[in-house]
Amino acid sequence: MNAPQIPGLHGLLVRLCGGKDLTVLPAHTDYSLLQLIAEVGTDLSRWATEKHFTAWLGLAPGSHQSGKRHGSVGRKRNRAGRLFCVMGRSLARSKHIALGGYYRRMAGRRGGLVANIALARKLAEWFWRVMVKGVEYVERGLAQYEEQVLETKRRALQRLAKQLGRVVLPSLAELKAEG
């Protein structure tokens, strides 16, 4: 890796962040945290919500609409926002992390650039939650994430069938598995 080896950096970062170990967040290494803290500091309470924080980073989705005219607002990312984008790219190929599955799902629908920004926004939101609210991050894993996506699709299918006056029946394989 290109990151410099600084002895005792991890313990220093934990003390600096008020006893919070931010390396439990995916893609957050000691060196990337050192860079982030240099940019945003340790007091994130000046941003009232995580949405304010991500907007300041330049990771908030932008749109411009007036009647039928649609345009896009150019979003400039500051250095901290670009750091979150770099960390997001490192998660793109992760095989066992739920955020890697999220990236691949978004990339399939909207493309890799949009997916990277969306993933960087999620990483920034988790960073803000841990620093300000003290929320603990727990990695659910890719299998549980994919099961949640399938359950959401099942509920949407049930809702659509109900609107159309139809009924969705389980397949024979599902019935045999249950019985």
> How confident is the model at residue 121, as a pLDDT?
94
Counting other chains too, the contacts that 133-141 makes at CB distance below 8 Å and 24 or more residues apart are: 134/20, 136/24, 137/24, 137/25, 139/26, 139/97, 139/98, 140/98, 141/96, 141/97, 141/98
Partners of 66 in the beta sheet?
69
Distance CA 176, CA 172 (A): 6
pLDDT reported for residue 178: 75
- The 10s digit of each residue's pLDDT in 35-75 is 899 999 888 889 999 999 999 998 887 666 666 676 666 66
Reading the block at residue 24, the tokens are 């439990």
More confident: 175 or 103: 103
Q: What is the pLDDT of residue 83?
A: 93
Q: List pLDDT tens digits, range 135-159.
A: 787 777 777 878 888 888 889 999 9
Query: Which has more pLDDT, 91 or 75?
Result: 91
**pLDDT confidence of residue 102:** 87
Residue-level pLDDT at 170: 79
pLDDT tens digits for 8-45? 887 888 888 788 888 888 888 888 888 899 999 888 88
Q: What is the mean pLDDT of residues 82-104?
A: 87
Query: What is the helix (H) or strand (E) element at residue 146, kind and residue range?
Result: helix 142-163
pLDDT score recorded for residue 47 = 92
pLDDT in tens, 103-136: 888 899 889 888 999 999 999 999 999 888 887 8
Give the pLDDT of residue 163. Answer: 92
The per-residue pLDDT for 72 is 66
